[in-house]
Amino acid sequence: MLRPTLRQRVPQTQLLAQQAFATLERFLHIEAVSGIALLLAAVVALVWANSPYAHSYHTLWNVSLSIGIGSLAFSQSLHFLINDGLMTIFFLVVGMEIRREIREGALSERSQASLPIAAAVGGVIAPAAIFLALNPEPLRSQGWAVPTATDIAFAIGVLALLGRSIPRNVRVLLLALAIIDDVIAVLIIAFFYSGGLDIGGLAIAAFGVLMVLALQRIGVGSAYPYVLPGAVIWIGMLMSGAHPTLAGVVLGLMTPMQSIPMLERPVEIVSRVANELTTRHAEPMRNAEAIAQPLRQLRMANREMLPPAVRVQAALHPWVAYGIMPIFALANAGVTVGDIDLAAGQATFVMLGVALALVVGKPLGIVGTAWLMVRIGWCRLPPGVSWGGVCLIGLLAGIGFTMSIFIAMLAFADKELLVAAKLGVLIGSLLSALLGLGWGVRYVRGIRAQHS
């Protein structure tokens, strides 16, 4: 009698479930999908905030949530927990991306980093100048940094929609530029939008940093023990007057790019344990105690296959892309248009300043600075990147969204100016995406014509 194959022995429902989860996993790794999720969340927020149920939208985010033990209690609004709590995880991923790029990516070599750094700086100066030209009055000028940021998820997502004809180095250059934008945005938040720093809070944050260094020193490779010192750094940042999400950046930059030292290489451990399990334990269920130690070794080896910065970033990316960022968009993109008095010059100029700075200032600063650096011989275009590709990068960099809205909430205490800035971000980001798609289609046609 023929022995049934493995596929025959596995229930059909289990095979279908495995195929479904594999398909879902592939779907979630498509970069355009995260941008679409972010866009849908923003659309829902806008429709909700301008519907007859607008009051429920604003009421929801002001709901107070409390955590307490005995006399110790921490109470904050849902809006605070999203913007200052969940977004810390977003900044943690940003910090680890910066760490990777500095160690082995686009920022690791001066020759590779010079062009995106110069272009990113130009892409910050030009939008800020346009905004300040339209908003010289002190109250409005506080928003100069709002149009200087680039939303990586949206920009890369729109680029992915243009297909595989886009040269790889165009994507790499856009990613490098967006990451440098994030570095600049983090520095802007730290130096321009943090209050007077309290020494006591900074001391607590420094103690949290020492806790992280101590755990790394003794070789703790699991991410979970670092949650406590991370919380200490977050509390210290909050108490100091700096924005608490900067704790995520600090932790991300401290995440090692090398696995903890082991007596055997992880691959060798996996091979040895696999041999032990197959030769000595044919029936694992009857030898549970005997295989416990090899399985622990196997889990540790599996964990240490990738450096912590790569492993943690990969684990958090789906949660950030499909959870935290859409929730942030849902909580903050709900601009009630009726709250803006367009007859009043202040709000109108803030809205126009942000939108124009994103749509015009970003590509003007990036393309203009890149052209100047190449013209005087300080930089070179990467192989396969034409000036058409640089123009595409400049247009897509005008998609500010997440980081721009985040900075707007730090810049404006006045509700009307904040709403105007958010609306400017939404308008400018949408126009930049549409212009980027239009130019990208033309750019792809030109590439295909050259190869035909």
pLDDT of residue 126: 96
d(CA 159, CA 396) in angstroms, rounded, equals 8
Angle made by CA atoms 81, 254, 252, in degrees to the nearest 5: 40
Bridge partners (DSSP) of residue 72 are: 69
Report DSSP state, residue 260.
P
d(CA 305, CA 268) in angstroms, rounded, equals 11
Characterise 163 by phi-psi region: left (phi > 0), alpha (psi -120 to 50), beta (else).
Answer: left
CB burial of 68-101 (b: ≥16 within 10 Å; e: otherwise) equals eeeeeeeeeebbebbbbebbbbbbbbbbbbbbbb
Q: Which of 350, 357, 333, 358 is nearest to 432 (CA)?
A: 358
d(CA 298, CA 271) in angstroms, rounded, equals 9
Residues 177-199: pLDDT tens digits? Answer: 888 887 888 888 888 887 667 88
Contact (Cβ atoms closer than 8 angstroms) between residue 87 and residue 410: no
pLDDT of residue 287: 57
Secondary structure (3-state) at 239 = helix
Contact (Cβ atoms closer than 8 angstroms) between residue 330 and residue 79: no
Task: Give this prediction's pTM.
Answer: 0.76
d(CA 343, CA 349) in angstroms, rounded, equals 11
d(CA 15, CA 52) in angstroms, rounded, equals 47
Bridge partners (DSSP) of residue 74 are: 67
Contact (Cβ atoms closer than 8 angstroms) between residue 211 and residue 190: no
Q: Tokens standing for 131?
A: 């905004």
d(CA 83, CA 193) in angstroms, rounded, equals 15
Q: Which of 395, 393, 400 is nearest to 426 (CA)?
A: 400
Residue at token pair 């892409």? 123
The CB-side HSE value for 18 (13 A sphere, CA atoms) comes to 7
Ranges under pLDDT 70 in the chain: 1-32, 68, 70-71, 73, 105-109, 111-112, 195-196, 259-305, 339, 341-344, 452
Bridge partners (DSSP) of residue 67 are: 74
pLDDT of residue 24: 42
d(CA 355, CA 347) in angstroms, rounded, equals 12
The CB-side HSE value for 33 (13 A sphere, CA atoms) comes to 13
d(CA 59, CA 252) in angstroms, rounded, equals 34
Q: Tokens standing for 385?
A: 């990147």
HEC profile for 86-125?
HHHHHHHHHHHHHHHHHHHCCCCCHHHHHHHHHHHHHHHH
d(CA 143, CA 140) in angstroms, rounded, equals 6
Element (H, E) at 67: strand 64-69
Contact (Cβ atoms closer than 8 angstroms) between residue 156 and residue 175: yes
